[in-house]
Each structure stands twice: as C-alpha cells, then as structure tokens.
Amino acid sequence: MREELQKIKTEFLSQLQRLKNLAELEELEIRFFGRKAGTLTTLIKGLKDFSAGERQLLGQLVNDVKNALEQAFFEKRERLQQAQWAEALLREAVDVTQPALPLQSGGHLHPNTIIQKNLEDFFTSLGFMIFDGPELESDYYNFSSLNIPEEHPARDSQDTFYLKGHPGWLMRTHTSAGDVRAKQKYGAPLRVISTGKCFRNEATDVRHEHTFYQFQGVVVDEGISFAHLKGLLEAVVRHLYGPEAKLRLRPKYYPFVEPGVNGEVTCFLCQGKGCRVCKQTGWLEIFGAGLIHPHLLREGNIDTSKYQGFAFGLGLTRLVMLKYGIDDIRLLESGDFRFLEQF
C-alpha cells in the first residue's frame, strides 16, 4: 500500500509537470481523482480492508498525499488558466485607434438655421419673445409705418419687389417690417426679436442676393436710453465674438430711428489689424441701430410720453458668411449638397 501510494504520487507529479493545457489537466484529474475509477480514489476505497489500527495510520498517510497532490494540481491549474487568458488577450487584441466602420451618413442643418438658433437662444434667455411677420407685406408696414413715406429718398437703397395687380403689396425688404405689427399686437413694455427672409430687387453676384435673412430686435420700456442700446449691443458682440471683441458706433441715417447708428465690431479674423475681409479697416459692420423714432411708437399705439425704445438689426446672412468664411453669398440658396454637407 505504501509503495503504491508512493508510485501514484510520483506518477501524478511527473505527468502534471508535463501536461500543457487545461484539457489534459482535466484528463489527469479524472484519471487520479475520478469518483468512479480514479487511481487515488480506488486506493482510498481499499482502506476499508485494513485493520482499524493500520487504517488510522494509512489514512493519515493517504490524506497527506492527497492534499499534496491537490495543491500541486490547483497551482498548475492556476498557471494554465493565466497562460490561457494571456494568450486570449493577445489573440483578441483590438487596435482601438484603427478606423473600422464608416460614419453613419447624417443630415445637416442649414448654416443659417444654426446661427439663427444661436441668436434666438441668446435673446430668449434675456426675455425676448420671437415674432414672425409676413414675408409678403403691405407698403404701410414695410415703409410708411417706419417713417419712410412715398417719394422718400431712403426708398432708393431698398429696391423693392412689388406684386402684380396688387398696388401696395410687396416682398418685405427688411425685418423691421414687423416692427409696428409687434407693437400693435403686444403693446408696451415690449422685448421682441424677429428673424427671417427678406427680399430686394438687385442683381445677384458674389456679394449680393435678392433673397437674404435679417435679424431684428426691439426693446420698448420706460426710461430706455442710448446707453442701454450700447450696453445691449456690447453684450451681443461679446456673445458672438468673445469677451475681447469691441463695439464701435457711428452715425447712420435710418428713417425709423433717431439717433441712428451703425455698429461695427473688431474684425475677428485679423483682430483689428486690417485684412481683406474688413477691407483693411479692422472693423466689420454688423448692426444698424438706434432709438426708435416716435413716429413708429405712435403707429404702434404706444404712449410716447411714457415709453421709449431702441431697435437694432443685423444681417443674418452676413453673419453666417463671416462665421463660416463663405465668400459667395449665392451658395446659401444654391441647394448644392457639396456646400450644405459641410455644416
């Protein structure tokens, strides 16, 4: 019995050392420890044939051998498992930097929509409502209500599309056309922006479009002053071009404001040093603005003794072109996917 035990031990350990994978290990386990015919199991089962004194001695011996073999077995299994995992890691390695699948083809918002949303969000955060006026307007709202009577030279600068068979109907030339409508509808105090499509009858080229987009804002309240207009325009400039951007105001005549100014910002391309885009001036013209002419307040049924206001407008299309470096205005309404897919 003792020899046999010693033989099992030697044989087990030598085979254990030679085997190379978990399958062989499992085979070895069955051969020695198998519940039915394992060599060691069989030996242990034979213990019952010995006398009680011998059984105690041999039992102790058998247990020691069994424990030793099991420990060797578990250690081997641990090593083999580690090796297998290491191998698997190596085999299944992934280069995470390698581009594998093409991008899902997504759609694109029009650049004008993107900038418009940006501005609308900024102004609604300041409590402005969004007003939509009609694109086909009356002469009254587009001109007369804005202190531009018929035969006024200011009409020169806004070549207008008129409607056949409908005298007094036109395609709005600016978003200011909605000004008096908004005042009539909501009264004072008022904080409103309107955005949209405008039309002017001029030949198209790289810089001119007969269809373009404007953005316009109006504040009517008590005690509104020029300093407030300047304050808000500065906030807009910082929103659009960062904290370093500067605002410059210069006089400009618009019949619907008094005083009227045009607002320029430091050219963000050259930081004011002068470049092709700003025509070497260092400034980009962005706004038209001013204190609302009392004529407009009266047309909007607003008490001019109590309320004042300011208005400002900016060329949304121009802003889009500056932002994205678009040098041909006609691309915006070309419907050309090569252009649209860049946004």
Question: Could you tell me the smallest distance in angstroms from the CB atom of residue 213 to other proteins?
Answer: 8
Give the integer Cα–Cα distance in Å for 178 and 25. Answer: 86
Question: Could you tell me the smallest distance in angstroms from the CB atom of residue 269 to other proteins?
Answer: 21
Question: Could you tell me the smallest distance in angstroms from the CB atom of residue 23 to other proteins?
Answer: 50
Asked if 305 and 101 count as a contact pair (C-beta separation under 8 A), the reply is: no
Residue 92 or 156 with smaller CB distance to other proteins: 156
Question: Could you tell me the smallest distance in angstroms from the CB atom of residue 148 to other proteins?
Answer: 11
Token duo for residue 74: 């578990």
Question: Scanning the structure block, which residue is given the tokens 């069994």?
Answer: 66
* DSSP three-state, residue 269: coil
Residue 70 or 135 with smaller CB distance to other proteins: 135
Give the integer Cα–Cα distance in Å for 316 and 214. Answer: 5
Residue 3 or 151 with smaller CB distance to other proteins: 151
Question: Could you tell me the smallest distance in angstroms from the CB atom of residue 87 to other proteins?
Answer: 43
Among the listed residues 264, 255, 290, 276, the one whose alpha carbon sits nearest the alpha carbon of residue 327: 276
Question: Could you tell me the smallest distance in angstroms from the CB atom of residue 271 to other proteins?
Answer: 19
Q: Residues 6 or more apart from 52 whose CB is under 8 A from it?
A: none
Residue 31 or 230 with smaller CB distance to other proteins: 230
Residue 288: beta bridge partners?
262, 313
Residue 46 or 168 with smaller CB distance to other proteins: 168
Residue 28 or 154 with smaller CB distance to other proteins: 154
Give the integer Cα–Cα distance in Å for 148 and 137. Answer: 15
**Host H or E run for residue 72:** helix 52-91
